[in-house]
Amino acid sequence: MSARNTAARIPSGSPAQQVAQLEQWRRDSENEANQMRTKVSELTDTNRSLQTQIANIKQHAQLQDQHLKSVSDRLKATTAELSQTQAVKRDTSANAVSLNRLNQEKEKQLAAARQSVQRLQSELKKSSEQLQAAQEQLAHSQSEKAAAEQSVKHLASASRQRGGATISANRNLPLANIQADGVTLERDGEVIRVRFDSGRLFEKNAAQLRPEALAIVDQVGAELAKTYPRQRIGVEGHANIGKQSGTAWRNGHHLSSARAMALYEFLQSKSFFGADQMFIVGHGSNHPVYSTATDSGRRANNRIELVIYPETIK
């Protein structure tokens, strides 16, 4: 169901059912928005790749021009040498034949260089057309992304304004006092992000909380429940398993979702938050916060975030 279709529908049933439907529609809209961001990112990478190809083609063309000039200069020098040789040794037909063959070879090289330049010009034109098409597709994707985000805003607004709504917004969230190893807390726009290093909570490529992690999660959960007793909370996993073999996970989305579920179930078992207060998202490797060019950056991107949203549950 698209974000536009979702925004156009009216939920039915009891107030609780309506809230559940609206929440499902909001999650669907968020998923579509994430997909559009991924598509935009892929198109941006394609655009960069095409620009790099064009730069390489231009450089290749310049090298061909230099080679053509060098061949032309050598041809001129050869022609001058041939003229001198003919003037000095007109009676030596063998030398004349040899020089004539050399001149023909140079002409062939010059013709081949010209054909190479023409081919490069044709490839450059084709690459320019591909770049233009990619830019048009990127603009179209950006337009679709903006429309999807607008639909999400409309859906969220409708969920607060319709009769029987149970969600209200708090735009001035305080920062909880959390002092735990491997846990950071930061304000990100209207939300609060509590970030756990996955290496502190889970073994490598595992989705079961380590025994020593339970105390950390218990401490953080208790503080969050005290500071944000009615806030909407997202348990959002981020994981990248790369191209490793011997793992049970199909991809990073699978692993990040399983880890988010493990943290969700532990928080539920401690009764810190209500079941309708939390939701789970598995982002895979779509949203890195550190450079993915280094091993340390890739490890740091494996994380679990408890995202405190401004909406509250009555």
pLDDT at 139: 53
pLDDT at 8: 56
Question: Residue 58 phi/psi, 5° resolution?
Answer: -60, -40
pLDDT > 50? residue 46:
yes
Question: Residue 239 phi/psi, 5° resolution?
Answer: -155, 145
CATH architecture of 168-313: 2-Layer Sandwich (3.30)
List pLDDT tens digits, range 266-291: 999 999 998 889 999 999 989 998 88
**Cα-Cα end-to-end distance for the chain:** 28
pLDDT at 137: 59
CATH architecture of 44-161: Orthogonal Bundle (1.10)
How, if at all, do strands 183-188 and 191-197 pair? antiparallel
List pLDDT tens digits, range 93-136: 776 677 788 888 888 888 888 888 888 888 888 877 777 666 65
Q: Which of 63-67, 97-101, 152-156, 190-194 bottoms out in mean pLDDT, i.e. has the lowest?
A: 152-156
CATH 3.30.1330.60 boundaries in the chain:
168-313
User: Where is pLDDT greater, at 137 or 256?
Assistant: 256
The answer, as to whether pTM is greater than 0.75, is: no
List pLDDT tens digits, range 124-170: 888 777 776 666 555 545 544 544 444 444 344 434 433 343 444 55
Looking up tokens 């935009």 gives 40
